[in-house]
Amino acid sequence: MPVSTIPIKAFIQAAEAAIHEHAEEVTELDQAIGDGDHVINLRRGLMALAGSANELESADWSATLQKIGMSLMSSVGGASGSLYATLFLAMSKAFKDREMNQRNLAEAFGQGVEAVKQRGKAELGEKTLLDVLIPVADTLQTAAAQSRPLPQLLDDIRRVAEAGCESTRELLATKGRASFLGERARGHIDPGARTSQLMIAAITGVLDETAS
Ligand code: ADP
Ligand code: MG
State the Cα–Cα distance between residues 76 and 43, nearest whole angstrom.
8
For 134, residues 6+ apart whose C-beta sits below 8 A from its C-beta are 113, 117, 124, 164
pLDDT per position as a tens digit, 51-80? 999 888 876 899 999 999 999 999 998 899
Do 60 and 99 meet the contact criterion of CB atoms below 8 Å apart? no
Of 53-62, 145-154, 190-199, which range is least confident?
53-62
Count of structural domains within the chain = 1
Mean pLDDT over 185-189 rounds to 94
Mean pLDDT over 94-115 rounds to 95
pLDDT per position as a tens digit, 170-182? 999 999 999 999 8
By residue range, what is the domain housing residue 164? 3-211
Which CATH number fits the domain that encloses residue 60?
1.25.40.340
Residues with CB under 5 A from ligand 2 (ion): 34-35, 37-38
Q: How confident is the model at residue 167 (pLDDT cuts 50, 70, 90)?
A: very high
Q: Is 30 in the pocket of ligand 1 (CB under 6 A)?
A: yes
Q: How far is the CA of 209 from the centre of ligand 1 (A)?
A: 32
Task: Classify burial at 31, counting beta carbons within 10 Å of its beta carbon; exposed 0-12, middle 13-18, buried 19 or more.
Answer: middle
The b-or-e profile of 135-144 (16+ CB within 10 A means b, else e) is bbbebbeebb
Q: How far is the CA of 163 from the centre of ligand 2 (A)?
A: 22
Q: How confident is the model at residue 4 (pLDDT cuts 50, 70, 90)?
A: low
Q: Is 193 in the pocket of ligand 1 (CB under 6 A)?
A: yes
Q: What confidence score (pLDDT) does residue 73 get?
A: 96
The pick from 83, 117, 124, 195 for probing ligand 1's pocket by mutation, whose C-beta has the most ligand atoms within 8 angstroms, reads 83
Its pTM stands at 0.96
54: number of Cβ within 10 Å: 9
Task: Classify burial at 162, counting beta carbons within 10 Å of its beta carbon; exposed 0-12, middle 13-18, buried 19 or more.
Answer: middle
Do 59 and 3 meet the contact criterion of CB atoms below 8 Å apart? yes
